[in-house]
Amino acid sequence: MLSQKTIEIVKSTAPILAERGTEITTYFYKTMFEAHPELLNIFNFVNQKKGRQQTALANTVYAAATYIDQLEVLLPAVKQIAYKHRSLNVKKEHYPIVGEYLLKAIKDVLGDAATPDILKAWEEAYGVIASVFIDVEQEMYEQTKAVAWEGFKDFRIVRKEKESSMITSFYLEAKDETTIPNFKPGQYVTVRLEIPGETYLLNRQYSLSDSPGKKYLRISIKRESGEQLQEEGKVSNYLHNNMDIGDTIAITAPAGDFVLDDREENPVFLISGGVGITPMMSMLKDIAENQPNRPVTFIHAAKNEEVHAFKLEVKETLNKLMNAEGYFYYDRVTAIDESEHISEGRINLRNFKNLIADKDHSFYICGPAPFMKSMIDQLESLNVKEDAIRYEFFGPSINLKETQNA
């Protein structure tokens, strides 16, 4: 239990720390990695370089400080992060290391402004915040161990299928031939690779793109091009170029809370941009297999037909549903085909306003951050309630309000 005095100090200093948050967390990561380079086997270095992870951690620590006396408010956010931690095998023993370097960063960056009282209050507060994460994660580890496997497990690539000029699916079966756990549509796995020439192991999350209940797990990966994306797409491109049928990759058990609510039968909109289609495939196929009467509106935006993945699979799946339609938007179309519901330009949800106004829908959105912001803004302008909208980030969560519209 934190004392009232500690709570007051933490709350009153949270805004100053938030203001200098990225500076503090950048310093924090630098000093932590210098002292504990082994942690670079867990963290995604690209996210570090781009400052995304710093911002994500800073946002969370200061949000936690603001709500330090009512941490239950943060539980949904904690759960999402805890899934990511669980999927990366972050353990209880890592927390004191993060705590030590976070405190050191506050002290060194703020200088004289960080009085002993302030530092003591933050040390205590970090302990409380960390124990919330540790408890949630402990429960996740136990559940995962009971239904799936602990840590990383070797899987063999048994099939490789091109879904578009950019996206390829990898079908994975456990090397020890154990059954695949029943994940939830929308969840992801972490792939860990040892790439020749790289000092550290590389970890990336990929959504599962097929429905649960198969004897394989399917991930569908976008090849990245362009100088900057080459770095970002190191794992994806290595999988495309160097991994083939028969090769082994290590993955952790499915994780994530961007999942289809399959207890409901209400109509759903599945809205995706680019490779954001992958979790939608899992959701769409699951609905077709288990809730064929559930109304679905599937909307997907791609640059053009060539990069439009899963075209046939989506069409076949929609045909299995009693009440489903698909709509596709390309930046450029060569010939507009209304029977295929293909249009040119960006997704305009106003076109669906009668449908949206009429029914109690849930909306699932996945794609680049500006795309998601645009979709959410459009839904808000159509008076859709916030709790009807769910979305998934690829990469560390960022504040959508700070994202520029596409």
* Contact residues for ligand HEM, defined by CB under 6 A: 39, 42-44, 47, 53, 56-57, 60-61, 81, 84-85, 88, 90, 94-95, 98, 129-130, 133, 393, 396-397
Whichever of 41 and 362 has its CB closer to ligand HEM, that residue is 41
Cβ at position 230, least distance to ligand HEM in Å: 18
Closer to ligand HEM by CB, 79 or 107: give it.
79
Our CB check for ligand HEM shows the closer of 55 and 237 to be 55
Q: Between 192 and 361, whose beta carbon lies closer to ligand HEM?
A: 192
- Cβ–Cβ < 8 Å for 282, 310: no
Q: How far is CA 26 from CA 11, 32, 51, in A?
A: 22, 10, 8
User: Closest distance between ligand HEM and the C-beta of residue 47, in Å?
Assistant: 3
- Name the nearest CA neighbour of 326 among 294, 298, 292, 364: 298
- Of 99 and 289, the one with the shorter C-beta distance to ligand HEM is 99
d(CA 21, CA 106): 9
Phi and psi dihedrals of 159, rounded to 5?
A: -160, 145
Q: Which is nearer to ligand HEM, 219 or 302 (CB)?
A: 219
Q: State in angstroms the smallest separation of the CB of 61 from ligand HEM.
A: 5
Least separation in angstroms between residue 44's CB and ligand HEM is 3
**Spatial distance between the Cα atoms of 362 and 202, rounded to a whole number of angstroms:** 35
HEC string of the chain?
A: CCCHHHHHHHHHHHHHHHHCHHHHHHHHHHHHHHHCHHHHHCCCHHHHHCCHHHHHHHHHHHHHHHCCCCHHHHHHHHHHHHHHHHHCCCCHHHHHHHHHHHHHHHHHHHHHHCCHHHHHHHHHHHHHHHHHHHHHHHHHHHHHHHHCCCCCEEEEEEEEEECCCCEEEEEEEECCCCCCCCCCCCCEEEEEECCCCCCCCEEEEEEECCCCCCCCEEEEEECCCCHHHHHHCHHHHHHHHHCCCCCEEEECCCECCCCCCCCCCCCEEEEEEHHHHHHHHHHHHHHHHHCCCCCEEEEEEECCHHHCCCHHHHHHHHHHCCCEEEEEEECCCCCCCHHHCEEECCCCHHHHHHHHHHCCCEEEEECCHHHHHHHHHHHHHCCCCHHHEEEECCCCCCCHHHCCCC
**In the complex with ligand HEM, which residue's Cβ is closer, 22 or 291?**
22
Q: To the nearest whole angstrom, how small is the minimum distance from the Cβ of residue 396 to ligand HEM?
A: 4
Q: How far is the CB of 30 from ligand HEM (least distance, A)?
A: 15
Q: Choosing from 27, 29, 62, 137, which is the catalytic residue?
A: 137
Is 206 in the active site?
no
Comparing CB distances to ligand HEM, the nearer of 328 and 391 is 391
What's the closest the beta carbon of residue 314 comes to ligand HEM, in angstroms?
27
Catalytic residue among 95, 126, 171, 330: 95
Is there a catalytic annotation at residue 95?
Answer: yes
Supply the minimum distance, in Å, between the C-beta of residue 42 and ligand HEM: 4
Residues annotated catalytic, as ranges: 95, 137
